[in-house]
Structure 1
Amino acid sequence: MKNIFAVLLIAFFVSRGSSQNWNTDFEKAKEFAIIENKPIILVFQGSDWCAPCIKLDHEIWSTEIFKKYADKHFIMLQADFPRKRKNALPKEQAKANGKLFETYNKNGIFPFVVILDSKGYKLGETSYKKTTPENYIKEINSFIK
């Protein structure tokens, strides 16, 4: 039993180290942003239907360059809007994402990236661009004072 627990614990930390640390709770993201003195990067995506969203994930969010930088400089918040039934979010999460959508994405753009301060005030916005992770980081940082 101890061996199984140890293996699961190691697998958890290895997988956390290799994936983007996404928050899905806006209030917790704001708390982390205050504590860590970091801006929030709110990403609206359609993970199972939006081709530019999938490209943004592969070309920017999932790169080691971005993940390492984001871990030190940003609080990442994801608002996903999957369409396939098998990928449906729990009702509470879908409702929370809907509230974020009403507040920050009134034009219904996907993907849509909103840079927020720790209180939830919008500092800037962007979307998918064919660029490097380094240039995407520069663009995000251009909104942060």
Structure 2
Amino acid sequence: MKKTIYIFLISIFTTAFVSAQELTWHTDMGKASEFAMQEKKPLLMFFTGSDWCGWCIRLQKEVFQTKEFKKWANENVILVELDFPKRTPQDDTIRAQNRQLQNMFKVRGYPTIWFVNPEVNSEKQINLTSLGSTGYVAGGPTKWIGKAMSML
């Protein structure tokens, strides 16, 4: 009986820990900006070609899917994925939003990551103040996070 209770408790704590380490990637820039302003965190905007860009996939595997990055991201930023897929269907509104942001930030290659602070101006519009940009950084999550922290 005791073993059953211990196993049950361990599985509950493991599930809670794993779900606490999961990331939320927003695709709606307006909603992500609202969250960022409420939580007083900058946005990490990830411009990616999720289904065709080899460096984007590599960045996901080597950095974004690691426990170190997940912990850091949950504490420091609001994540926004701005995807430019070739094969995966995408909503027209999201596609238009992503193209507009790509042009605004002059993104020419993938992956590109911009860190920005959203702020509401006097006309009730959201302004994005850039903090810096990066891309793929070799060396795993520790090196990538170090580069990101230098901009924040």
Q: Same fold (TM over 0.5)?
A: yes
- Runs of 4+ with deviation above 4 angstroms: 13-18
**Partner residue of 2:114?**
114
**Partner residue of 2:98?**
97
**Partner residue of 2:9?**
none
Unpaired runs of 5+ residues, structure 2, are 1-15, 120-127
- In 1, the alpha carbon distance for the partners of 2:18 and 2:95 equals 25
Could you say what the CA RMSD is over the residues aligned between the two structures, in angstroms? 1.8
- In 2, the alpha carbon distance for the partners of 1:135 and 1:37 equals 24
CA separation of 1:107 and 1:70: change in aligned 2, threshold 3 A:
closer
| Identity %, equivalent residues | 32
**Partner residue of 2:24?**
21
1:140 aligns with 2:141: no
The CA deviation at 1:100 is 1.1
Q: Which structure has the bigger radius of gyration? A: 2
Cα contact 2:118–2:129 (8 A) shared by 1: yes
More strand by share: 2
**Partner residue of 1:32?**
35
- In 2, the alpha carbon distance for the partners of 1:103 and 1:118 equals 14
The CA deviation at 1:98 is 1.0
What is the count of residue pairs matched by the alignment? 129
**Partner residue of 1:129?**
137
